Amino acid sequence: MSDTTYAVFEELSKRGHEQVVFCSDEASGLKAIIAIHDTILGPALGGCRMFPYASEKEALTDVLRLSRGMTYKAAVSGLDLGGGKSVIIGDPKKQKSELLFRALGRFIEGLGGRYITAEDSGTTMQDMEFMRKETSHVVGISRSFGGSGDPSPVTALGVFSGIQAAVEEHLGKSSLAGLRVAVQGVGHVGYHLVGHLVRAGCKVIVADVDQDSLKKTCTDHKVESVAVDKIYDVECDIFAPCAMGASINEGTIPRLKCSIIAGAANNQLLNEKTDAAMLATKGILYAPDYVINAGGLINVSNELQGYNQEYALQQAEGIYDILKNVFVVAKRENIPTFRAADDLAMQRIEAIQRVRRTYTGMKPTLERTRLRGA
Ligand code: NAD
């Protein structure tokens, strides 16, 4: 990342980041980056990802992108939180240790609560508990420590509520009974989502690369499966991506035989603009991923006030109303649903910022163009 190859400050200002912290600890081998995108609504909350990034630039680009996404997710979900994320450069299968996570915990403690961490891909609840020995600014810890535990059931309930909103909007139905749903990926979230759908009277078809997950889902919920690549061709009302990102793209969209895309996976569209346009042409309604899958964030954020599962579940069900509003705005403004979600998130941040300015005389710290960034 020399001056001539990578302009770090230019990157930060382009995307509107407030602060980026590079963390190095020789004793534990820690190499990590914490990115705080925006704290207008509250402290920046976002998970800690561990991944063997090929380069420091790749790690920085990822943490900048992910932390910015968290700002939008928290804002559209009505949470009083900003957006942040951290990444550890390393192989989660080989390079984890108590020392490593305690070292990162100390860096997080040094930020005095501006950044709150949580579990993400490559990290576990155990890793969060190591960090908790050094900082209180960590959520997603186990129920036995007063934490919120596994967020997946809450995420699944949020996705289910979002599917109900999409069905009412696009198919004009208040019940899911009799609808066909293709679920791609039946891991932590997909498994629970299938349970909700079956109880609601849907006919569910699933696919997963992992035979154990597939067998468990098919046995427990009595649903049928198809081969991994065939899931795109299933005739259905709803396609629910609950595996990896980018499964909706120019190669898969022509194959889809659904009316609605609504699932848990992050970054479902490979190329937001062109994929959204292709979906619109096919008359498919897309429930923006970061809106419909916000149950996990909602769940961990509840730890900050003292975890109450009943309240977290109730809040996750609120995704129904949030998504309905996204659809209303998209229709009214004639814009894609992902853009409507971004606009709603942005409007909330701006409104809070205006209130602060009015009542405290504070100057705004961020302009709309900066926050939207690239
Ligand atoms: P998971 O790893 O438990 O489950 C994903 C499943 O998808 C696995 O069973 C995996 O075998 C399967 N899979 C992978 N590639 C596949 C493919 N090509 N075709 C079919 N199946 C495939 O993950 P999860 O926690 O259930 O999360 C699912 C998605 O939702 C991820 O994109 C995650 O980022 C997102 N998400 C999860 C949460 C949460 O609370 N867990 C919250 C928000 C978003």
Reading the block at residue 282, the tokens are 């096919």
* Same domain, yes or no: 179 and 252: yes
Q: Is the pLDDT of residue 251 over 70?
A: yes
Contact between 292 and 162 (Cβ < 8 Å): yes
Alpha helices per DSSP H over the chain: 8-15, 56-76, 98-110, 125-132, 152-171, 188-199, 211-221, 272-281, 289-292, 295-301, 309-317, 319-333, 337-360, 368-372
Overall pTM > 0.85: yes
pLDDT at 367: 47
85 in active site: yes
pLDDT at 289: 96
pLDDT in tens, 285-300: 999 999 999 999 999 9
pLDDT at 363: 57
* Same domain, yes or no: 8 and 45: yes
Instruction: Judge whether 108 lies within some domain.
Output: yes
pLDDT in tens, 93-139: 999 999 999 999 999 999 999 999 999 989 999 999 999 999 999 99
* Same domain, yes or no: 137 and 207: no
pLDDT at 374: 40
Question: In this structure, what DSSP letter does residue 362 have?
Answer: P
pLDDT in tens, 141-178: 988 888 999 899 999 999 999 999 999 999 999 999 99
* Same domain, yes or no: 116 and 218: no
pLDDT at 295: 97
Q: Does 1 contact ligand 1 (Cβ within 6 A)? A: no
* Same domain, yes or no: 129 and 191: no
Q: Does 265 contact ligand 1 (Cβ within 6 A)? A: yes
- Domain of residue 9, residue span: 3-63+86-145
User: Residue 76 corresponds to which amino acid?
Assistant: V
Q: 56-76 and 8-15 are packed helices; what angle lies between their axes, rounded to 10 degrees?
A: 20
Q: Is the pLDDT of residue 332 over 90?
A: yes
* Same domain, yes or no: 261 and 306: yes
Q: Is the pLDDT of residue 359 over 90?
A: no
Instruction: Judge whether 206 lies within some domain.
Output: yes
Indicate the number of domains in the chain. 2
Distance 294 CA to ligand 1 centre (A): 14
**Burial class of residue 166 (count of CB atoms within 10 Å of its CB; 0-12, 13-18, 19+):** buried
* Same domain, yes or no: 40 and 133: yes
pLDDT at 368: 47
Q: Is the pLDDT of residue 371 over 70?
A: no
% of residues, the chain, pLDDT over 90: 86
Radius of gyration of the chain (CA): 20
* Same domain, yes or no: 289 and 257: yes
DSSP 255-319: G-B-SEE--S-SS-BSSHHHHHHHHHHTT-EE--HHHHTTHHHHHHHGGGG---HHHHHHHHHTH
pLDDT at 341: 98
CB count within 10 Å of CB 358 equals 9
Q: Is the pLDDT of residue 372 over 70?
A: no
* Same domain, yes or no: 280 and 169: yes
Phi-psi region of 115 (alpha: psi -120 to 50; beta: other; left: phi over 0): beta
* Same domain, yes or no: 140 and 156: no
Q: Which of 85, 203, 282, 331 is catalytic?
A: 85
Average pLDDT of every residue of the chain: 93
Residue with more model confidence, 373 or 63: 63
pLDDT in tens, 30-60: 999 999 999 999 999 999 999 999 999 999 9
Q: Does 73 contact ligand 1 (Cβ within 6 A)? A: no
In this structure, which residue's CA is closest to atom 12 in ligand 1? 185
* Same domain, yes or no: 114 and 211: no
pLDDT at 5: 60
Q: Is the pLDDT of residue 364 over 80?
A: no
Phi-psi region of 368 (alpha: psi -120 to 50; beta: other; left: phi over 0): alpha
Out of 307, 322, 338, pick the residue that ends a domain.
338
Pocket test for ligand 1, best of 155, 160, 206 (most atoms within 8 A of CB): 155
CA-214 nearest atom, ligand 1 = 9
pLDDT in tens, 219-246: 999 999 999 999 999 999 999 999 999 9
* Same domain, yes or no: 159 and 47: no
Q: Is the pLDDT of residue 204 over 50?
A: yes
